[in-house]
Amino acid sequence: MSQIDQLFQRLRDSGRKAFMPFVTAGDPDLQFTAAVLRELVARGSSMCELGITYSDPVADGPTIQASYTRALEKHVKLAAIFEMLGGLTPELAAPVVTMLSYAIVYRRGPQRYVASAKAAGAAGAIIPDLPVEESDALVEICRREDFSLIQLITPTTPRDRALRIAEQTTGFIYYVSVTGITGEREALPQEIIDNVGWLREQTPLPICIGFGISRAEHVRMLSPVADGLIVGSAIVRRVAETASKPRAEVLSEIGEYVAELLAAM
């Protein structure tokens, strides 16, 4: 079993849901990224997603796009991200997965990317721009290495294609709550519940919901139907406040925000 398989088994056994925050690697720098990951796990996060910076947004809204731009302007490199992660993951009581463009995997080479990510302690990868029709080779590598390849299903994914994506996914399915890009929203569509309910009947994989989740009421709405909830832009926006606030204050505010959402699960 992969690290993520083991995580969801523990959560099921204890009747709990996964809380999965996202942070951008290197914004404002890798030292603070490590501090945020420590804080997120200390507050009770089940798993963390680490965004690997890329120049062309895949499904990212303006908040995450801006964080990628800031990190790229500081020339944050993949090797440095993996070095930071390798020194950090042994002390974290939660797995970390990378979220990145397939262009980065392709340029490094799929086998080499998976090996490097595993060596750094990463438990899997989320690759939003990898079409299921082109994923066979990477799926095979990831299955062989017990490295979870988490794929996305959206509200507009045809059901026959959603089934194929589920068959090619390991770890958990990332269900996108809304059509469009990441970002905080006032409200989420009620049809998420029906869509996730249908998907649950088709696959034994855990289903985690992301995009737009930022408030306790979102958490209360979706927790009953999801195995986990993913929160990104609201955390990334708070990280950006390091430009005008002391880092310790920002770190505390992030921790308090996460604790508020966890209390609603």
List the alpha helices (DSSP H) in the chain.
Answer: 3-14, 30-42, 62-73, 78-88, 102-108, 110-119, 136-145, 159-167, 191-200, 216-222, 233-239, 247-263
Q: How far is CA 179 from CA 81, 164, 256, in A?
A: 30, 20, 29
Pick the catalytic residue: 49, 73, 140, 201? 49
Beta bridge partners of 174: 152, 208
Q: Are strands 148-150 and 124-126 parallel, antiparallel or unpaired?
A: parallel
Measure the CA–CA gap between 118 and 27, rounded to whole angstroms: 22
Is 13 an annotated catalytic residue?
A: no
Measure the CA–CA gap between 151 and 179, rounded to whole angstroms: 16
Give burial (CB, 10 Å; 0-12/13-18/19+) of 146.
middle
Pick the catalytic residue: 5, 29, 60, 227? 60
Residues 81 and 26: beta-carbon distance below 8 Å: yes
Is 241 an annotated catalytic residue?
A: no
Sequence letter at residue 7: L
Enumerate the active-site residues: 49, 60
